[in-house]
Amino acid sequence: MRHLLPFLIVLSGIASAGDPDTLPGCVLWLDGSDVDGDDVEGGSFASGTTWVDRSGNGASAAQLTAARRPQVVPAAWNGRSIVRFDGNDFMDVLPGAFGMLNGVNGATIFAVASTPVTDNNQRVFMVSNGANSGQTRAGLALFDQFGTSIAGIGDYGAAGRRLDTDGFQRVEGGTINLGALEQYAATFDYGAGELGLYVAGALETLGTSFQTPGPTSATDSLNIRLGADAALNALRGEFTGDLAEVIVFDRVLSNAERVTVEQYLHLKWFTPSLGVNYCTPAVINSTGSPASLSAAGSSLVAANDVTLTADDLPQNSFGYFLTSRMPGFVPLPGGSQGNICLGGDIGRYITNVASSGDGGCLVLEIDLTSMPQPTGSVPAAAGETWHFQAWFRDSVGGLATSNFTDGLAVSFL
């Protein structure tokens, strides 16, 4: 697999400044790590049947028939949950979102998926404005054999049409690494007549004879489906594999915008977690859960791109991050205000720390060249292990006025 993306954004746990819906035109966002859409990782389908759309566009996908419903698999990829299709499963987007690609000049579709099999015509995500696959407007597929190939050759592709009566066209590219997660993006520029396919952030194939230029048909879709062809008159094109995330925009993103979403997906699904948690679990706070600390970025000192995230904090609580070169464990009196998990001299980050806002998290980008006093002003060096913890206000209920996350040990190279 190719993972070529540079790191330019900060991933703040389940919520981030780089979230897809911060860009205009996000009309569908199905996140396998948060299928119930509550902004907390994990969980199960809402009401046992529905994969909740996080875009706010009402594009949730559902499957009422248990035998046709894919399964949520916890901690399947990079410690995150995904949705697994067995070749007999599919989910349909709710009708309220059927106008998402109606009368638009372009679309951008992202998917993170894997398959262990070479079955032909596996439909990952399809938008159809008719009763059969011949009227598919836009989609991503694996081992596709439908329609006319206008560019490229390979195992994965993007396909669609501009008008209801146009021919079905596709571009293809690359070789699938069976059983491995891969990141795909497709840009449907109906106005310019171009269809682009990107894999792991790199342009794979560009078809410049995609339809005649202009906006799409003004007819609504009749079905939008995950895991099979969008045809209503027959089930075919079944997908076998894991689907981690699908994101749709009703316009062609600029190169910078597309890269932003690709970096968000790459950091989330392909970057190993950084650090080892200890002193766990933390003491439960007023949210009913213990707060946890995680890190993203690189363990290379030279990269200097470590980001700390404290999750599951009370709403709008103030806090800051602590650090030391030694671990520790000191339970605070009363058993309700957490544990100090650091030992020796302890330094405090007092800059770049914001209140938790509506995400229930604190985020800090660490500058390894200037670690805080009193741990010393000497920059972090390769071979050292630093220990981190977050303190936060927690004044809702009970006698506790503050609490702590668990500890996190990060070893630098």
Q: What one-character-per-residue DSSP string does 312-344 give? A: SPPTT--EEEEEESEEEEEEPGGGSS-EEEEES
Residue of 280, 275, 278 lying closest to 306 (CA atoms): 275
Question: Mean pLDDT in the chain?
Answer: 85
Characterise 54 by phi-psi region: left (phi > 0), alpha (psi -120 to 50), beta (else). Answer: alpha
Q: Which two tokens stand for residue 162?
A: 């501009």
Q: Going by C-beta distance under 8 Å and a sequence separation of 6 or more, which residues neighbour residue 333?
A: none
Note the CATH number of domain 276-411: 2.60.40
Tens digits of pLDDT across the chain (413 residues): 333 322 222 223 333 335 898 899 999 999 999 999 988 788 999 999 999 999 999 999 999 999 999 999 998 998 889 999 999 999 999 999 999 999 999 999 999 999 999 999 999 999 988 766 567 789 999 998 888 999 999 999 999 999 988 888 999 999 999 999 999 999 999 999 999 999 999 999 999 999 999 999 988 888 999 999 887 777 889 999 999 999 999 999 999 999 989 988 987 898 777 888 899 888 888 888 888 888 887 777 777 878 888 888 887 778 888 998 889 888 887 656 889 999 988 888 765 444 544 456 777 888 888 777 666 556 778 788 899 999 888 865 555 688 899 999 988 87
Q: Which two tokens stand for residue 356?
A: 């938790």
> How many CB atoms are located within 10 Å of the residue 370 CB?
11
Q: Going by C-beta distance under 8 Å and a sequence separation of 6 or more, which residues neighbour residue 95?
A: none
Q: Going by C-beta distance under 8 Å and a sequence separation of 6 or more, which residues neighbour residue 47?
A: none
216 touches 138 (CB < 8 A): no
> How many CB atoms are located within 10 Å of the residue 399 CB?
8
Helix (H) or strand (E) holding 364: strand 362-365
Geometric angle at alpha carbon 393, from 389 and 396, rounded to 5°: 135
Give all strands (DSSP E) within 164-222, no chain letters: 169-173, 182-189, 194-199, 202-207
Question: pTM to 2 decimals?
Answer: 0.71
**Topology of domain 20-269, per CATH?**
Jelly Rolls (2.60.120)
Parse the chain into domains and list their residue ranges. 20-269, 276-411
| Phi and psi torsions of 378, nearest 5° | -65, 130
Residue 286 DSSP one-character state: T
